[in-house]
């Protein structure tokens, strides 16, 4: 099945993001299809993470809508929206693990809250999730006792706790060494292949963008809107926009002589 045949899973329509009167991005329009690894890219400070916050329900848009399987996310009742949010798994930039809980407790919390599993079954699922991210045996560790890369993987295990439909990653490779970053990319691809999940990744790491991305949107901080979109590899070949080209080829744009 080609990418375009797959059903639209997420649709962002005429979205404008603003803090008060300060507009961050305006008129964003794009579709994410089921099973996509969708990259939100752009330079630092262009509003990538803010867009993610709008998509996962942490910040309401100034204008526009976000649809999940055709349902307007911001127009439904709060309870329905919360139920939709439970189908998301989110890996925050720092892992965002709860520091007063062990890794096992971090992953167990959503399972205890939203499933009828017995404590021993919860423990088994927790062990499975930690094994999937290569952290078998670290159940009783606190977040402060493990490295940044491990915290990120544990954060991913927590994000996967409820077997979400959509996984959101905010700068997954930031602060990781190239090998750990590559492993995380492989893990993202494996999850997509095995689970058929839709994955949305905010990143500006070129290696990750080309390794995992199947579709993308490029946000520009100057014009405050999206200036390109599509398969990142094709974008590299076909885009004539100097900002997109310089970003994807890692070349500094030429200085004006005047």
Partner 1 sequence: MFMDPTGRTNASEPGFHLARNGAGTLLVRLAGSWTIAEGIPSTAEIAREIESDPRIRRVIFDTENLQSWDSSLLTFLVKLLELCRGADVEAVRDGLPAGARRLITLATAVPEEKGARRAAGTETFLSRIGAGTIGILSGATETLSFIGETFLASLRLLRGKARFRRCDLTLLIQDCGAQALPIVSLISVLVGLILAFVGAIQLRLFGAQIYVADLVGIGMAREMGAMMTAIIMAGRTGAAFAAQLGTMQVNEEIDALRTLGISPIDFLVLPRMIALVLMLPLLCLYANLMGILGGAMVGVGMLDLSVVQYFNETRDAIRLTDFMAGLFKSGVFGILIALSGCLRGMQCGRSSSAVGLAATSAVVTGIVAIVVADAILTVIYDLLGI
- Binding residues with partner 1: total (CB under 8 A): 37
For 9, residues 6+ apart whose C-beta sits below 8 A from its C-beta are 32, 33, 34, 35, 36, 68, 69, 165, 166, 198
Pick the binder of partner 1 from 163, 207, 251, 253 (CB under 8 A): 163
174 near partner 1, judged by CB under 8 A: no
- Residue 111 as a binder of partner 1 (CB under 8 A): the answer is yes
Of residues 117-136, those binding partner 1 (CB under 8 A): 117, 121, 124-125, 127-129, 131-132, 134-136
H or E element, residue 186: helix 178-195
The separation between CA 96 and the C-alpha centre of its own chain, rounded to angstroms, equals: 14
Q: 228 with 241: CB under 8 angstroms? A: yes
Q: What are phi and psi of 19, to 5 degrees?
A: -105, 105
Q: Which of residues 197-256 bind partner 1 (CB under 8 A)?
A: 197
With vertex at residue 101, the alpha carbon angle to CA 106 and CA 192, rounded to the nearest 5 degrees, is 20
Taking the least distance from each CB to partner 1, the nearer of 75 and 131 is 131
Residue 112 contacts partner 1 per CB under 8 A:
no
With beta carbons less than 8 A apart as the criterion, state whether 216 and 37 touch.
no
d(CA 227, CA 155): 32
Closest CB to partner 1 among residues 27, 136: 136
CB-nearer residue toward partner 1: 52 or 150? 150
User: CB of residue 19 vs partner 1: minimum separation in angstroms?
Assistant: 23
Cβ closest to partner 1, residue 51 vs residue 146: 146
**Site residues (vs partner 1, CB under 8 A):** 99-100, 111, 115-117, 121, 124-125, 127-129, 131-132, 134-144, 160, 162-165, 187, 190, 193-197
């Amino acid at each position: 099945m080609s990418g375009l045949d797959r059903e639209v899973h997420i649709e962002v329509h005429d979205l404008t993001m603003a803090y008060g009167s300060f507009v961050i991005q305006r008129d964003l329009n794009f579709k994410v299809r089921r099973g996509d690894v969708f990259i939100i890219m752009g330079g630092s400070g262009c509003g990538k993470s803010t867009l993610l916050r709008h998509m996962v329900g942490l910040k309401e848009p100034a204008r526009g809508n976000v649809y999940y399987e055709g349902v307007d996310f911001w127009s439904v009742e709060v309870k329905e929206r919360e139920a939709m949010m439970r189908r998301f798994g989110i890996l925050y930039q720092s892992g965002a693990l709860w520091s007063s809980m062990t890794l096992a407790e971090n992953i167990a919390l959503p399972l205890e809250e939203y499933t009828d599993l017995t404590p021993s079954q919860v423990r088994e699922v927790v062990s499975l999730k930690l094994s999937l991210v290569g952290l078998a045996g670290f159940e009783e560790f606190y977040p402060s006792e493990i490295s940044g890369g491990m915290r990120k993987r544990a954060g991913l295990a927590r994000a996967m706790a409820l077997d979400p439909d959509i996984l959101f990653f905010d700068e997954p490779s930031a602060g990781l060494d190239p090998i750990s970053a590559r492993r995380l990319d492989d893990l993202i691809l494996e999850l997509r292949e095995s689970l058929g999940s839709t994955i949305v990744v905010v990143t500006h790491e070129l290696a990750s963008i080309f390794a995992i991305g199947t579709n993308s949107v490029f946000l520009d901080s100057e014009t405050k809107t999206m200036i390109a979109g599509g398969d990142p590899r094709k974008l590299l070949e076909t885009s004539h926009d100097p900002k997109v080209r310089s970003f994807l080829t890692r070349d500094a744009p030429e200085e004006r002589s005047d």
